[in-house]
Structure 1
Amino acid sequence: MDFTEWLPALTAMGAIGAAVITSRTAIRSAEKTARISLHAAYTTPRLTAVGAFLEAAEKGRHDPAKDILTAVEAAYLTVRILAFQGTEAAEEVRVRASALVENLREMQETFGAIPPAPAEQKLDELSHTVSRAEAMKQHQQETSAEAYDEWELHAREDYDWRRAALKCLTKSHADQIATYTHEGQSLKTVEARKELAQYGELINMPGLENAVETGKTLVWRQSARDRYQLAAARLWMDRKAFADAVASWLDEGPTT
């Protein structure tokens, strides 16, 4: 058979081959487009949920109030719903998100101990007056003998009262803490309050006796502040771990 007689058949086969190639290309293109669309549909709501969760958590880090914690918990539930897969990446997201919420709960529970208590403010006021009196004494000593003699004449007694008041208060707190630590209750509270009430009148600091606190209060406040600081530090560190987990989770794409 002459070669030219094969031309129609070859032409037809070429057309069929081209059609097959075109069809396969179209199918692959359609599959790629579908995968891209699916991944976009998968990613967008998750990014939105993660963004809302992190934003709420950041607000809570600066102000762990009850209403902010409620918003964080709501955003957390949305993240959990979206991270429903049984994959390792999804599980890590749930674990890391849960850690952030627990840190904020700890901060919210202990936040009340952070501001200075009225008794602490009294103690700070007394400490500052003693520091100023000591600075004045030092200045007069360094200035001249006459200046120091003048200070001894007019300010020595007041200085001694202030130092005695501060010593009484700090000793009372130390005694309270030591007694409470050994599961007891100090009986010297009334004595300390009476003594400080007298010093308060002498140095013009009314209500100084209210600076006396029980060992239970002192220990609780310090413990709460330690817990708050630890939770805040963990929250700061856990944010990055959560972001890394989310990146792996999104990178794996749809699994269902």
Structure 2
Amino acid sequence: MEITEWLPALTAMGAIGAAVITSRTAIRSTEKTARISLHAAYTTPRITAVGAFLEAVEKGRHAPTSDILTAVEAVYLTVRVLAFQGTEAAEDVKARASALVENLREMQETCGAVPRAPAEQMLDELVHAVGRAEAMEQQHREAGVEAYTEWELRASEDYGMLRGALDCLTKSHAEQCAAYTDGGRSPKTAEARNELKQYGVLLDMPGLENAVETGKILVWRRSARERYQLAGERLWVDRKAFADAVARWLDEGPTT
């Protein structure tokens, strides 16, 4: 068959091919336009959600209550929904938002150990009393006074009892912590409590025996406070990392 006989068929195929290409181009153009429109439509909600999330996290950093944690988790879910693209930037935003929530949850779980417990307040009172008595003793010695007045004699006796009470309490807590840390049986507190109760009567410090605590409580409180502090430090640092991730997320434009 001569080439001229193929020309009508080739012309028809060329037209079909051109139509297919034009159709694909139109579809891709429509898809791109849709992606651009979708990106533009979701930009404002993303910014709003991120702002609300950071504001809630900041409130939680200062007061990590259960109510604030619940509010943070709710806004966090909104951020996750809006980061639906599955791109590296969107996944990074979700991961860093999750880290902030976990840090705040750690703070909420341990914040109860932060304030000074009643037993610690009693210990503080005893330590301050010993400090004041020691200062008076030091002033008396530096003055070179040999004879004690009746008031000074009582002060000296009080210092001896205060020092004895503090030593008793310090020893009890050290033994408690050592036994608990080693996994052994904690020493009974009855002896220390009785001794401190007697000191409390003599020193007019009622309830002094309540300063005695078990190793379990002492170790838990110390650990909880360390966890709280570390979580707060991570939260402070992770906020900036989250903000930087959001900037990359918003700047990436529609996905191709």
Q: TM-score range by the shorter chain?
A: 0.7 to 0.9
C-alpha deviations, 1:65-117, integer Å up to 9, x for none?
00000000000000000001110000000000000000000000000000111
Give the paired residue count: 223
When the two structures are superposed, what TM-score results if normalisation uses the length of structure 1? 0.83
Q: Secondary structure at the match of 1:193?
A: helix
> Is 1:250 equivalent to 2:247 in the alignment?
no
Matched-pair identity in %: 76
1:49-198 aligned at under 5 Å gives the runs 49-146=49-146, 149-150=148-149, 153-198=153-198
Q: Secondary structure at the match of 1:187?
A: coil
Structure 1 unaligned runs (5+)?
1-32
Give the AA of the match of 2:51.
Answer: G
Shift in Å, 1:39: 4.7
Q: Give distance in 2, aligned partners of 1:113 and 1:47.
A: 36
Kindly indicate whether the alpha-carbon contact (under 8 Å) linking 1:172 and 1:188 is maintained by their aligned counterparts in 2: no
Match of 1:225 in 2: 225
Q: Secondary structure at the match of 1:149?
A: coil
Kindly indicate whether the alpha-carbon contact (under 8 Å) linking 1:119 and 1:211 is maintained by their aligned counterparts in 2: yes
Q: CA RMSD in A?
A: 1.8
Q: Secondary structure at the match of 1:155?
A: helix
Shift in Å, 1:188: 3.6
When the two structures are superposed, what TM-score results if normalisation uses the length of structure 2? 0.83
Q: Give distance in 1, aligned partners of 2:132 and 2:167.
A: 16
Structure 2 unaligned runs (5+)?
1-32
**Deviant stretches of 4+, over 3 Å:** 33-40
Match of 1:45 in 2: 45
Give the AA of the match of 1:175.
Answer: E
Give the AA of the match of 1:149.
Answer: Y
Q: Give distance in 1, aligned partners of 2:65 and 2:191.
A: 39
Match of 2:30 in 1: none
Q: Give distance in 1, aligned partners of 2:101 and 2:218.
A: 28
Q: Give distance in 2, aligned partners of 1:36 and 1:81.
A: 18
